[in-house]
């Protein structure tokens, strides 16, 4: 690794001040950042440790009935928290489907949100053309082996996929990301937090330089989906593998009618993939094969396969049907 300085912040304010230094990067659990540093992909000059700031570590109820999860909360703690398991089981299921117990004991919520959208070509500097590493250099994945790559939202510049399981659930649950920076605090709808690649795939999120994630808020109304929630992850091996396709599905069903629906795909795009119109097709009707097919079709509208991942389109469609059917008690 390149030489790097380290400083543990004693407060959020100190962290923000330290982050103004050239080449500074926030350090949480380090489960992704340290890997990238070892490979020479990330080269920060200063690591600002924010993993031990008490204001960022808690999980608390919001006045309106939602839940606030601190950015420094560990994935394992969030997955097993009684309020998360009872009100937002979709999030708990997604977290437990990710990585390994050892990594979940290290990884933080904020770090999970900030892990790089990536592919093997991004990780291996032997492949010189990677627009995420070197903007404008090209994309070796487009002409290489792209079985794991995107079928939705990709661009000519990048076809990598976002690897997080947690983020798929947060997208479906309509979470809000709270951040703080030199210009103060702001709230970002989860759907707007991650970027599609466009012609600037080196930018994964809408964060401004030096902005710090402080918390993720789960809305009170999403707790109504707790009774019918299912996270489905399909992968090449049973553990410690990224998803080929994943689905976060949750339904509020009363008197046989879907009153609310949450639906998002993972493993298929540069960001968790949610299409509100797909959810709308389920609402106000009994859950049936026809409504689930319509939702799956809307969610996958515009899917475009690469040379080696055409199977993902049909796999994603069937996965949506299976996840919705399981969540709704039809499977």
Say yes or no to pLDDT of 294 above 70: yes
Q: Are residues 193 and 232 in the same domain?
A: no
Q: What is the mean pLDDT of residues 283-312?
A: 98
Name residues whose C-beta falls within 8 Å of residue 79's C-beta, 6 or more positions apart in sequence. Answer: 85, 91, 92, 95, 96, 104
What are 86's two structure tokens?
């009872």
184 inside domain = yes
Same domain, 203 and 241: no
Domain with residue 288: its CATH number is 3.30.390.50
**pLDDT band (50, 70, 90) for residue 239:** confident
Query: How open is the CA angle 67-73-75, to the nearest 5 degrees?
Result: 95
24-62 in b/e burial notation, b at 16+ Cβ within 10 A? Answer: bbbbbbbbbbeebbeeebbebebbbbbbebeebbebeee
Arithmetic mean of pLDDT over the chain: 96
Q: 207 in a domain, yes or no?
A: yes
Residue that finishes a domain, picked among 221, 239, 257: 221
Give kind and range of the element (H or E) at residue 132. Answer: none
Among 221, 239, 269, residue at a domain's last position: 221
Contact 180, 19 (CB under 8 A): no
Tally of domains within the chain? 2
175 plus 300 within the same structural domain:
no
Integer angstrom CA distances of residue 174 from 66, 88, 272, 274: 12, 12, 11, 10
User: What does DSSP assign to residue 149?
Assistant: S
99 in the Ramachandran plot: left (φ > 0), alpha (ψ -120 to 50) or beta? left
One domain for residues 182 and 200: yes
Asked whether 327 and 250 are in contact (CB, 8 A), the reply is yes
Residue 18 belongs to a domain: no
Q: How many alpha carbons lie under 13 Å from residue 18 in its C-beta half-sphere?
A: 23
In which domain, by residue range, is 89 found? 54-114+162-221
Exposure string for 7-23, b = 16+ CB within 10 A, e = fewer: eebeebeebbebbeeee
Q: Is residue 187 part of a domain?
A: yes
Q: Is the confidence at residue 2, as pLDDT, over 80?
A: no
- Residue 91 has a pLDDT of 98
By C-alpha distance, which of 233, 228, 232, 289 is closest to 260?
A: 228
Judge whether residue 117 has pLDDT over 70.
Answer: yes
CATH number reported for the structural domain that contains residue 182 in this entry: 3.30.465.10
**Residue 306 CB coordination number (10 Å):** 20
Same domain flag for 248 and 168: no
pLDDT of 326 > 80? The answer is yes
Same domain, 317 and 187: no
Mean pLDDT of 207-224: 97
DSSP 56-113: HH-EEE-TTS-EEEETT-BHHHHHH-HHHHHH-HHHHHHHHHSS-HHHHTT-BHHHHH
Same domain, 73 and 196: yes
pLDDT in tens, 49-82: 999 999 999 999 999 999 999 999 999 999 999 9
Within a domain: 47: no
List, for residues 28-54, the tens digit of each pLDDT value.
Answer: 999 999 999 999 999 999 999 999 999
Q: Are residues 239 and 104 in the same domain?
A: no
* 7 belongs to a structural domain: no
Supply the pLDDT for residue 240: 85
* Predicted pLDDT of residue 1: 60
Tell me what the mean pLDDT of segment 253-281 comes to. 98
In this structure, the answer to whether residues 314 and 172 fall within a common structural domain is no
Q: Are residues 65 and 201 in the same domain?
A: yes
Q: What pLDDT, on the 0 to 100 scale, is given for residue 238?
A: 87
Cα angle 44-166-29, degrees, rounded to a multiple of 5: 35
Q: Are 131 and 173 in contact (CB under 8 A)?
A: no
Q: Tell me, yes or no, whether 317 and 244 share the same domain.
A: yes
Domain stops at, among 183, 199, 221: 221
Q: Note whether 247 and 293 are same-domain residues.
A: yes
């Amino acid at each position: 690794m390149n030489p790097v300085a380290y400083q543990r912040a004693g407060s959020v304010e100190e962290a923000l001040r330290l982050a103004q230094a050239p080449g500074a990067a926030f350090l949480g659990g380090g489960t992704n950042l340290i890997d990238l540093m070892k490979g020479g992909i990330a080269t920060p000059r200063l690591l600002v440790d924010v993993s031990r700031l008490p204001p960022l570590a808690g999980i608390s109820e919001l006045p309106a009935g939602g839940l606030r999860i601190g950015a420094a909360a560990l994935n394992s703690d969030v997955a097993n928290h009684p309020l998360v398991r009872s009100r937002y089981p979709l999030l708990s299921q997604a977290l437990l489907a990710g990585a390994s117990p050892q990594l979940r004991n290290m990884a933080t919520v904020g770090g999970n949100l900030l892990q790089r959208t990536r592919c093997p070509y991004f990780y291996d500097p032997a492949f010189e053309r990677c627009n995420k590493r070197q903007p404008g250099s090209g994309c070796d994945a487009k002409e290489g082996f792209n079985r794991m790559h995107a079928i939705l939202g990709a661009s000519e510049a990048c076809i990598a996929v976002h690897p997080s399981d947690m983020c798929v659930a947060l997208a479906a649950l309509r979470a809000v990301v709270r951040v703080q920076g030199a210009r103060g605090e702001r709230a970002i709808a989860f759907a707007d937090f991650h970027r599609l690649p466009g012609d600037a795939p080196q930018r994964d999120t809408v964060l401004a330089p030096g902005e710090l994630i402080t918390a993720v808020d789960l809305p009170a109304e999403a707790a109504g989906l707790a009774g019918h929630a299912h996270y489905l992850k399909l992968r090449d091996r049973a553990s410690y593998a990224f998803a080929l396709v994943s689905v976060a599905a949750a339904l509020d069903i009363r008197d046989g009618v879907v009153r609310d629906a949450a639906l998002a795909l993972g493993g298929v795009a540069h960001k968790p993939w949610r299409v509100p119109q797909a959810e709308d097709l389920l609402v106000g009707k009994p859950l049936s094969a026809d409504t689930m097919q319509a939702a799956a079709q809307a969610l996958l509208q515009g899917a475009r396969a690469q040379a080696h991942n055409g199977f993902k389109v049909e796999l994603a469609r069937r996965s949506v049907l299976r996840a919705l059917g399981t969540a709704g008690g039809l499977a």
